[in-house]
Structure 1
């Protein structure tokens, strides 16, 4: 993971309250959607169609794939749909943490959408996983989210 992201133990981190909620984006490949099915936590999906809008009025953790070209190329790493969702001030205000997927073949830009969002929103980067994730990733993320949440 990247060294300059917000960590859970930072003093300024606001922990989520209320019911657990994961907001995620998945492209038409449905890789993140399949991961979410394995995760089996309450969730809402950011629409693929840029004309549609999702409005969230509760604390949530964001899970997003990364689209980056590798090397030092980070332009386009955060999907346009996620940017549109987070450009809504209310949606942005309820984000409490981010988890990103990526492909280790892209080296330094592996799952870079997570660190980009963490820095921009000042929320912790909770986890990064490759592509569809493994059963280990599913167990780790479930534990991380439940431990991070305040009931």
Structure 2
């Protein structure tokens, strides 16, 4: 009778080689993952601003009075405001903060005002620039004189 040598499983060297291959692949993928996360944050911040601009515009039409979106570059937030029947300034909702790593860049003016017809109160196109604090990637949000909102950049 002969005995068969039934070895099952992997040797220690095989396991170490597989672990090294996984570590190398993870090291190569990490910068791409970080870059993707940063771009995702920029897109999220852009969506926040567009949503609040749209909300302010619709509120101006609905309330039949000027509504504006204040841009605070110190704490990277947006606040929507209007006036009540007595002409007093009131806040509408809570402030919206940009995601971590995204900031306003060269925003002029400090607020975007929509008329009761939903038009941009400025006589020119208003631009809001967002940028990543770690790279030179940016997005520009433009509000036309008719109130239309467009984006550009990356």
Tell me the TM-score normalised to structure 1 length: 0.27
Bigger strand fraction: 2
Structure of greater relative contact order (alpha carbons < 8 Å, 6+ residues apart)? 1
